[in-house]
Amino acid sequence: MKRLKAALIQQSCSDNQPETFAKTGRMVRQAAEDGAKLVVLQELHNGTYFCQTEATEQFDRAEPIPGPATERLGALAKELGIVLVTSLFERRAPGLYHNTAVVFEQDGSIAGIYRKMHIPDDPGFYEKFYFTPGDLGFTPIRTSVGTLGVLVCWDQWYPEAARLMSLAGADLLIYPTAIGWDPADTPEEQERQREAWITVQRGHAVANGLPVLSVNRVGFEKSPDPHATGIRFWGTSFIAGPQGELLCKGSTEQEEILAVELDLERSEAVRRIWPFLRDRRIEAYGDLTRRFRD
């Protein structure tokens, strides 16, 4: 495909799963009615972001893949004839769980999965308690609309992940996300964090000559810990072109659908004038596999 209309679904979530899925479905249908052939949902979109605390009962949220959630989402993709990028809490085996992106083809089948590789462990983001690091590597998923370099949230800070997806033939870099502010931080610190998040991902677009699609949730989610401040998710979902140019950008507060028609041939043109892949000194990069160079 030379041109592709892609849409991001930026929404708030609740633990009323039928209600949350119904809202997601309405927004996805609207995007498809408006011509989107690729629709991307945010990280762990089935409910609230449960990683604010460490609690073993939260593992009950996980499902196998395939499972009930993939059946519903696959049926939605088939009904609308779209490629749908989703994000689920995967129960792989007893005691073995992943944060997993699932991509559905236009016929509703699973085109591929990606298991989140970089797992954070910060106040309010206790993901290492829940998720085993991915073991599928940085392998793009081939679909009818292109080859998708799907990564998840914390992965977006790592240039190595974006580069490896690019070298493996990705046409797009896609980041389902759940990131927000600590309400106790100053407005200045909050803005520095949000701008850093935007900047590093736009850098991945520039360095690899590829469009970047990043979708984040919005709204305040209270922490189960009465002493914690909760998280206010900052939205700001965006799509950037292969020179890092912002093609669309969401608000920090509103649920919304962000859609853009992408010219997939621009990546070739940009890589001809900025041949970063040509000029890489691959023989000198061995130390990248070391934790630190003492």
Bridge partners of 88, per DSSP, are 100
* Torsion angles phi and psi, residue 11, rounded to 5: -150, 165
Q: Are strands 83-93 and 38-41 parallel, antiparallel or unpaired?
A: parallel
Give the C-alpha separation, 182 to 190, whole Å. Answer: 8
Q: Is 153 a catalytic residue?
A: yes
Q: Is 116 a catalytic residue?
A: yes
Give the C-alpha separation, 273 to 41, whole Å. Answer: 33
Give the C-alpha separation, 199 to 205, whole Å. Answer: 10
Give the C-alpha separation, 11 to 126, whole Å. Answer: 22
From 23, 37, 116, 221, active-site residue = 116
From 23, 37, 153, 221, active-site residue = 153
From 5, 43, 51, 105, active-site residue = 43
Helix axes 187-208, 159-167, angle to 10 degrees: 20
Active site residues: 43, 116, 153
